[in-house]
Amino acid sequence: MRPVEEVAKKTLGLYDYRAQQSLEATKIVDATSICPQAKRCVIKYANDTRGLIAQICNWYSPDDDLGGQVHYFISAMTPVQLADDVVFERTAVGMRVEPIVLASFIYQNQP
C-alpha cells in the first residue's frame, strides 16, 4: 500500500457557494488501521465558510482515491453527536469500526 499522500486527491468534490470555490483538503489522514473492513479509509479535512469539514472516504481499493464518501461539518457538532448520526453510524459499522472510535479519531486528527 502506497503512502496516502501519493494517491489521495486534494479535491473533495465539494463546492463552497458562498466563497465561489471548490474545496481542497488542508489535511489528509489515513484511518485504515482502525477500520478493518475497509480496503482503505481516508479522512480529508477542508475549511468551508460554514466551518471545518471532515470527509470520510471509504476506497474501493487501497491505492485509488475512488469509493464511498460522506462529509460532515464537524465544527458544528461534538464527537458524540457525530457518532450518533444515522449515516455516520452505518458508514462506520460497514467498515467494522465503532462509530465513537471513528468520530474520536476524526476529532483528534483535525488540523
Q: What is the pLDDT of residues 72-109, one digit of tens each?
A: 999 999 999 999 999 999 999 999 999 999 999 999 99
What's the Cα-to-Cα distance from 10 to each of 14, 93, 101, rounded to whole Å? 11, 26, 25
pTM recorded for the entire structure: 0.92
Rounded Cα distance, 47 and 33, in Å: 25
**What are the DSSP calls for 57-93, one per residue?**
EEEEETTEEEEEEEEEEGGGS-HHHHHH-HHHHHHHH
pLDDT tens, position by position, 48-60: 988 999 999 999 9
